[in-house]
Amino acid sequence: MTSTRKLHLVLCWHMHQPDYRNALTGRFELPWTYLHATKDYTDMAWHLEQRPGMACVVNFVPSLVEQLEDYARQFESGTLRDPLLALLGQDSLEGLEEILRQDTLAACFRCNYSKMIEPFPAYLRLYQTYTRLREDDPALTAYLSAQFLGDLLVWYHLAWIGESVRRSDPLVQRLMAQGSGFTAEDRKALFRCIGTLLSGLLPRYRALQERGQVELSATPHTHPILPLLLDFTSAREALPDAPLPQAHAYPGGRERALAQVESGIAQHARYFGQAPLGLWPAEGSVSSGALDVMAACGCGWVATGENVLANSLSRSGGPVPARGDYLYRPYRYRTPHGSLLCYFRDDALSDRIGFEYAKWHSRDAVGDFVQALERVFESTNPATDPVVTVVLDGENAWEYYPYNGYYFLSALYEALADHPFIVPDTFSGCAQRLREKQEDAPALETLVAGSWVYGTFSTWIGNPEKNAAWDLLVEAKKRYDEALASGRLNATEREQATRQLGICEGSDWFWWFGDYNAAESVRSFDRLYRLNLANLYHLLKLPVPAAIHQPLSVGSEAAQAGGAMRRSSE
């Protein structure tokens, strides 16, 4: 008799960029949102469109979607607020201010050298010319012509175009074959191509959702670490000796956590036509309080890292079973405001895609991944259908893969869609299967707060710079509360200040502080975090405290030599 047992694989791609807009000017301070959109989000949609039998979850952070919509509006209006993108479409590059020229020259080499510069001889020549001049004397770069700058802008954006577009778009193919001597009309044509890609991106994912292939999920609005908004001491559940900020707590944390979740759900529904059925909380960060907030907002499922589950089971008092016996299933966690299904990420399999397979031949990597799933299937209880959860960023890994992961993703989706007992699934699909069987997941009685990184919050709190950043935010929140209580802000001003507060609560600013990151990137995010706090004070009609003008990342200078290239998490 043929067994009907299946392994259900939930592959969740997390799409996220922090809000890079200056609240006072509307200017995009960094270009990563539109660059990842033209390269990674575009390719990820294309691979799914080519393989209708492949199901997965795509998680969009609402603040990322807002920025994508903002870029689409900029192209519609013809008013660009991203300096690098505006230069690409500019009539002439003659007579630029020297600081803008130098910033542009530096910016247009911020990508993976071996995968995004070296493979293209014309781009490589530009890089070699620039670096040779800088090594001889940085002042010599003043002699680089407007034509050099124009060619560089074109090649930088070509390097950030998705492989699916390179293989199908005649304009992109013509420009890459031409190699140099690009005219203003060439630049404008590429500029228009980027606008088309950005404007069509969200409708493509909505169409994938509507045909039932993809579950679109969300994250609290600006990607905050909800457990830390609720309680700094939750960091000590997994790390009892973790140093904490001087402030005892984030003021009004539960109210802000609820607002982040409610706003994120509402924005997601506006963009995609329906509310998400579940959430991937920022960085998989969970706690009993955070799950209660999400349950109160109607979330049906959440997902996090496997170390959170291991810590929780070990804290429950009984013997911890073998990894294969506890990891590959959802759990039911009950809160005062309802229950949620909790899924736990297979860290090893997720990290192989994120960090290891880029160095493998694509077919070998896919074969290894499928074999690992088959071993899970063989080693788990034969009376159950195991659920394997794989979650990783949907943008950051691909610049380390040849051809932006084109061959890997094509082979992976083909292998999974055609496999005899591995079923590509979604979190809500697995929940529906339980309902159809009139079954429920086992109860998770204890939850130890943590994230998908080490099962702790050490990436966002505990370091002196991270803690100082929290203390600055706490003081700003107190001033925000006072301003709202005073009644001096009108409704529009309150809305603007609240939106800016949410941006300041995002996780990314805290992630970057620390000497384990390249100094250039740390300085960039340090500056942007303090700019966001300063803008909040301006919106509150208050003077900016002197402390906000002082860099927090003083300890990162030792890493300055390694800061020439952007880290993959930007």
**What integer pLDDT is reported at residue 554 of this predicted model?**
65
pTM summary value: 0.95
Parallel, antiparallel or unpaired: strands 301-305 and 338-345: parallel
User: Who's near 331: CB < 8 A, 6+ residues apart?
Assistant: 309, 341, 342, 344, 441, 442, 443, 444
Q: For the chain, which domains are there?
A: 7-16+219-232+252-436 (3.20.110.10), 32-49+62-209 (no CATH), 464-562 (1.20.1430)
56, 416 contact by CB (below 8 A): no
Q: Which alpha helices (H) appear in 419-518, and where do they start and end?
A: 427-436, 464-486, 491-504, 508-512
- The dihedral through the CA atoms of 353, 358, 362, 363 has a sign that is negative
**What integer pLDDT is reported at residue 70 of this predicted model?**
98
Cα separation of 252 and 52, whole Å? 45
Q: What is the CA radius of gyration of the chain?
A: 24
Looking at residue 388, the DSSP 8-state letter turns out to be E
Cα separation of 313 and 307, whole Å? 10
User: Hey, how many other C-beta atoms are within 10 angstroms of the C-beta on 79?
Assistant: 10
Angle in degrees, 0-180, between the axes of helices 121-136 and 146-159, rounded to the nearest 10: 130
CA distance readout (Å), 360 to 119, 356, 407, 543:
18, 7, 11, 54
Cα separation of 146 and 470, whole Å? 44
Cα separation of 110 and 115, whole Å? 12
User: What are the beta bridge partners of residue 9?
Assistant: 388, 424
**What integer pLDDT is reported at residue 517 of this predicted model?**
79
DSSP structure string for 343-354:
EEE-HHHHHIII
Q: Which helix (DSSP H) or strand (DSSP E) does residue 200 occupy? A: helix 184-210
**What integer pLDDT is reported at residue 558 of this predicted model?**
37
Cα separation of 385 and 8, whole Å? 7
User: Who's near 24: CB < 8 A, 6+ residues apart?
Assistant: 535, 538, 539
Cα separation of 503 and 509, whole Å? 10
Angle in degrees, 0-180, between the axes of helices 491-504 and 519-539, rounded to the nearest 10: 160
335, 288 contact by CB (below 8 A): yes
Cα separation of 346 and 305, whole Å? 7
DSSP structure string for 552-568:
S-GGGGGGGGGTTS--T
Block mean pLDDT (10 aa), the chain, length 570: 83 97 96 98 98 97 98 96 97 95 95 96 98 94 96 98 98 98 98 98 98 98 98 98 97 98 98 98 98 98 97 84 92 97 98 97 98 97 95 95 98 97 98 94 96 97 96 98 97 98 97 83 93 98 97 58 34
- The dihedral through the CA atoms of 47, 30, 259, 280 has a sign that is positive
Which amino acid type is present at position 128? Answer: Q
CA distance readout (Å), 386 to 320, 382, 430:
18, 9, 10
User: Who's near 4: CB < 8 A, 6+ residues apart?
Assistant: none
